[in-house]
Chain A
Amino acid sequence: MSETILSVRGLSARIAGQQVVEDVSFDVPDRGVTALLGRNGVGKTSTVKAILGLIERQGTVEFGGERIDKEPTFTIVQRGVGYVPEDREVFSGLTVAENLRLAERGGAVHRERVAALFPDLEARASQLAGTLSGGQQQMVSLARALLNENRLLLVDEPTKGLAPLIVADVAAALAAAAKLAPILLVEQNLQVVRQLASTVVVLEGGRVIHTGSAQALLDDSDLVTSLLGVHGAKSEADS
């Protein structure tokens, strides 16, 4: 058994007074990819945001054995958390180089690592990030997280809305990233989950309803159907 890097206990969160995460508890081991799954709108993205303090939250969150649930977002990130948000959220009015420069947190900055992983970005350094394609923006977003020395990556729907070819690129980049730091991954594409994840956490109605091995879940198509509302085999064929 590996150690736990992130421990979430009884986490609840609200957006504009509405409960979006309710009493969620799970652990993220300090290696490999942990996939956070569930139907649309069950609070996966909100859970990630609550861990980071981007939305109002209650409950206990321990990162590397230390409480972070009362801390503001920026100090949580400074502790060594890389965040790749849903919809990429690159700064469209800034150039690619500026987007990356902004993300440099001080300490060891791995520009070569990022340049090696995403050679395309170097060529587009002076291009405005808003003019990039969705796949390229996702690379910028991933690169921002990988520039720094991180102890955990929170990656939210990295393949959303991308063409199949690009999905493969992103998955490859994530596989490389997983060698550097453990990842908590929110992902709808079960093919990608199968490829990367070792553990799964399934949410339903803002609560955890299943945790376990990724392999075991994905091989049981009845379970996939009942937990995720998709037909396991079919979704694999689709993606």
Chain B
Amino acid sequence: MKTVTKRRWLPWAAGGAVVAFAAILPFLNIVVPGVLPGATYTPGTLQLLALSLLFAALALSYNLLFGSAGMLSFGHALYFAMGAYGLGILLQSTDLALVPAMGIILALVIVAAYLIGALSLRVTGISFAMVTLAFAQAGNVLIRRNPGLTGGEEGLRLATANVPDVLVGVINTRNLYWVALALVVVVFVVVTWFEHSRAGHVVAATRENELRVRVIGVRPFVVKLITFVIASALAALVGMVYLLLQSGATPRATSADFTLTILVIVVLGGVGSRWGAVVGGIVYTLLDQRLTAFASSDAVAALPDVLRIPLSEPLFILGTLFILVVLFLPGGIAGIVGRVGDRSRSRAAARDRVEEAS
């Protein structure tokens, strides 16, 4: 963890170049057939790219929780939904401007995450996973059962009265794309900063050996709670931008399936790898979108039932792909790259192999 090498600036420079390139994409006319639905300057493509960036940011926040701190939560969607729904409700029922409204929601989510985290972290392991799942389910029920406030099963529409005009409408998709890009960068920096802070080191040590951390006189509970709150606040931020990008939110964003999707992304990218989470989020979103297009294509429709039925279900293909990755590619995408690049001591891969000594 502490192997800070002299080449430390290299990945940052590369990352900066990638971000700069991503930032000018809306001005370019790049066509990638089969991957993107259209040229990079078109709103449809930018919308998809922005969505994939949001999933990348969400995966980063979950990776902080699961990959870095080893906390398997099944309720991460709750904080994403708090951001999306909280902001949506505040915008539709008050006259607050966008930024103050976001600030208020962020503060509320931090308080909520602190309280729920403090309760949930009294247990560990699978029990922790279950408590977080339970709280998320409660949120899911509340949102579906209060259609007056949340739109119920129909979902919530974004009230645009107090949203700056530059962030509204199809013609402004590229502005939202830049917001999403900025968000990924912010989340990446926050997560990196935290993982390299003292608390970050302690929480990583907690994952390996809680007892040893106790011995050096730090209460694992406190650093775990800090991690939980930071990851939740970041997820809420992503949820808020998601609301703006999608012009609304649906109850699916609060479901256990949604958390599982984030988990799938993190595992695909490589547990414990930050840029793996980013790549995983982008790959997953693009794959999901393209598989949906592929499923309704004529080529699939012409196939016999045995092939047509599985191939016309994107989730079937993604689920199968996920199983294959878990079985055959421990370390996910980051693991592959790590092996190819002969960095055999890839943290992610090593971590996955920590076996129960029974």
* Chains A, B in direct contact (C-beta < 8 Å): yes
A-side interface residues toward B, CB under 8 Å?
A: 15-17, 54-56
Determine the distance from Cα of A55 to Cα of B357 in the docked complex, in whole angstroms. 6
Contact: B358 with A54, CB < 8 Å? Answer: yes
Q: What is the 8 Å Cβ interface bit string for chain B, positions 321-358, against chain A (1 contact, 0 not)?
A: 00000000000000000000000000000100011011
Number of A-B contacts (CB under 8 A): 12
List chain A residues, Cβ under 8 A from B355. Answer: 16, 56
Q: Which 3 A/B pairs are nearest by Cβ-Cβ distance?
A: A15-B357, A55-B357, A16-B357
Instruction: Establish whether residues B358 and A16, one from each chain, have CB atoms under 8 Å apart when the complex forms.
Output: no
Q: How far apart sit A55 and B358, CA to CA, in the bound complex (Å)?
A: 7
Residues of A within 8 A of B154 (CB): none
Chain B residues contacting A55 (CB-CB under 8 Å) are 357
B208 at the interface (CB under 8 A from A): yes
Enumerate 12 A-B pairs (CB-CB under 8 Å) in ascending A order.
A15-B357, A16-B208, A16-B209, A16-B354, A16-B355, A16-B357, A17-B350, A17-B354, A54-B358, A55-B357, A56-B355, A56-B357
Contacts of B350 in A (CB 8 A): 17
| A20 to chain B: closest residue by CB | B357
B65 to chain A, nearest CB (A): 21
CA distance A54 to B209 in the complex (A): 20
In whole angstroms, what is the CA distance A55 to B356 when docked?
A: 9
Question: What CA separation (Å) do A17 and B353 show in the bound complex?
Answer: 9
Least Cβ–Cβ distance between B93 and chain A, in angstroms: 52
Instruction: Determine the chain A residues whose CB is within 8 A of the CB of B357 once the complex forms.
Output: 15-16, 55-56
Distance to closest chain A CB from B58 (angstroms): 30
Count contacts on B: residues with CB < 8 A to the other chain. 7
Binding site for A on B (CB under 8 A): 208-209, 350, 354-355, 357-358
**Which residues in B have their C-beta under 8 angstroms from that of A16?**
208-209, 354-355, 357
| Extra A-B contacts (9), CB below 8 Å, given A16-B208, A16-B357, A54-B358 | A15-B357, A16-B209, A16-B354, A16-B355, A17-B350, A17-B354, A55-B357, A56-B355, A56-B357
The CA of A16 and the CA of B357, in the complex, are separated in Å by 7
Alpha-carbon gap, A54 to B355, bound state (A): 12
Q: Which of B208, B357, B358 is most buried by chain A, counting CB atoms within 10 A of its CB?
A: B357
Chain B contact surface mostly? loop
- In the complex, what's the smallest C-beta–C-beta distance from B46 to chain A, in angstroms? 44
CA gap between A17 and B208 in the complex, in Å:
10
Chain A residue nearest to B357 (CB atoms) is A15
Nearest B residue to A13, CB-CB: B357
Question: Which one of A17, A54, A56 has the highest number of Cβ atoms from chain B below 10 Å of its Cβ?
Answer: A17
In the assembled complex, how far is the CB of residue B278 from the closest CB belonging to chain A, in whole angstroms? 27
B164–chain A nearest beta-carbon distance, Å:
51
The distance from the CB of A13 to the nearest CB of chain B, in whole angstroms, is 10
Cα distance A56–B358 when bound, in Å?
Answer: 10
Q: Which residues of B contact A17 (CB under 8 A)?
A: 350, 354
State how many angstroms separate the Cβ of A224 from the closest Cβ of chain B.
Answer: 31
Q: Which residue of B lies closest to A17 (CB)?
A: B354
**CB-based nearest A residue for B351:** A17
Bound complex: CA of A55 vs CA of B355, how far in Å?
A: 9
Distance (whole angstroms) from the CB of A77 to the closest CB of chain B? 15
Q: Which residues of chain B have C-beta atoms less than 8 A from A54's C-beta?
A: 358
Residues of chain A with a CB closer than 8 A to B358's CB? 54
A15, B208: Cα distance in complex, Å? 12
B208: A residues at CB distance < 8 A:
16
A15 to B358, CA, bound (A): 9
Q: How far is the CB of B9 from chain A (nearest CB, A)?
A: 29
Minimum distance in angstroms from A85 CB to a CB of chain B: 12
Chain B residue at minimum C-beta to C-beta distance from A46: B357
Assembly CA distance A56 to B209 (angstroms): 18
Q: In this complex, what residue of B is CB-closest to A55?
A: B357
| Complex CA distance for A15 and B354, rounded to whole angstroms | 9
In angstroms, how far is the closest chain B Cβ from the Cβ of A221? 35
A54 nearest in chain B by CB position: B358
Residues of B within 8 A of A15 (CB): 357
In the bound complex, how far is the Cα of B209 from the Cα of A15, in angstroms?
A: 12
How far is A226 from B209 in the complex, measured between Cα atoms in Å? 32
B155 to chain A, nearest CB (A): 46
- In the bound complex, CA of A17 to CA of B357 (Å): 10
Chain A residues closer than 8 Å to B354, beta-carbon distance: 16-17
How far is the CB of A37 from the nearest CB of chain B, in Å?
A: 23
**How far apart sit A40 and B257, CA to CA, in the bound complex (Å)?**
49
| B70 CB to nearest chain A CB (Å) | 13
The residue on A at minimum CB distance from B358 is: A54
For B355, give the chain A residue with the smallest CB separation.
Answer: A56
A80–B88 CA distance with the chains assembled, in angstroms: 69
Report the nearest A residue to B356, measured CB to CB.
A16
- A198–B348 Cα distance when bound, in Å, is 48
Q: How far is the CA of A52 from the CA of B209 in the complex (A)?
A: 25
Which residue of chain A lies nearest to B209 when distances are taken between CB atoms in the complex?
A: A16
Name which of B350, B354, B355 has the most chain A CB atoms within 10 A of its CB.
Answer: B355
